[in-house]
């Protein structure tokens, strides 16, 4: 089982988008039974909320489901429950350090770390930029490469 948690600041714009896009990719590849996918935020402002309307609009345009997704905050138990904790930017990475986790237990990386020659190292926050199209472009590329990377990693470990 591959357990993947996407993390951003509010859990209403970028990480819910990544959760939905990654789940869509996994479904297309017929690998649903091999994955647990979730998202969470570092802040608590939007706990219980559906994704931001900009994220919903973009996902609706593409017929990508976000059904049942509600914002929640990162909890210490996530570090044991997930294999991959994938953040959107350097600030998220810095904020996660307050949990004092062990890097041997979980892979904590920025989504753009999986993209070779990525246009950005950090995914801009559309809550402030309002540019949900550009965020989607980066999230899609990141999620495709993350999926590829996990599959290659699994292959290496079974041979």
User: Which residues contribute to the site for ligand 4NP (CB under 6 A)?
Assistant: 8-14, 45, 125, 127
What H or E segment, with its residue span, contains residue 87?
strand 84-87
SS3 157: helix
The CA–CA distances, whole Å, from 44 to 30, 69, 125, 132 equal: 34, 15, 17, 22
Give 8 or 108: the residue with its C-beta nearer to ligand 4NP. 8
Cβ proximity to ligand 4NP: between 45 and 61 the closer is 45
The torsion of the CA quartet 51, 31, 122, 16, rounded to 10 degrees, works out to 10
Give least dist CB 57 to ligand 4NP, A.
15
**Which are the catalytic amino acids?**
8, 14, 125
Burial status of residue 64 (CB atoms within 10 A of its CB: 0-12, 13-18, 19 or more): middle
Pairing of strands 2-8, 84-87: parallel
- Least distance (Å) between residue 146 CB and ligand 4NP: 17
Tell me the closest approach of the beta carbon of residue 16 to ligand 4NP, in angstroms.
Answer: 7
Smaller CB distance to ligand 4NP: residue 2 or 124? 124
């Amino acid at each position: 089982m591959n357990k993947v948690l996407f993390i951003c600041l509010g859990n209403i714009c970028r990480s819910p988008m990544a959760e939905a896009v990654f789940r869509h990719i996994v479904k297309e590849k017929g690998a649903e039974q091999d994955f647990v996918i979730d998202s969470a935020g570092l802040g608590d402002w939007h706990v219980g909320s559906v994704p931001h309307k900009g994220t919903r609009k973009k996902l609706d345009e593409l017929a990508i489901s976000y059904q049942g997704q509600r914002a929640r905050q990162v909890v210490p138990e996530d570090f044991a429950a997930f294999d991959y904790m994938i953040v959107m930017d350097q600030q998220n990475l810095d904020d996660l350090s307050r949990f004092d986790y062990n890097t041997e237990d979980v892979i904590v990386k920025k989504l753009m770390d999986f993209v070779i020659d990525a246009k950005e190292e950090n995914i801009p926050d559309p809550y402030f930029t309002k540019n949900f199209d550009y965020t989607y472009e980066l999230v899609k590329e990141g999620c495709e490469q993350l999926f590829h990377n996990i599959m290659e990693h699994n292959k290496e470990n079974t041979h």
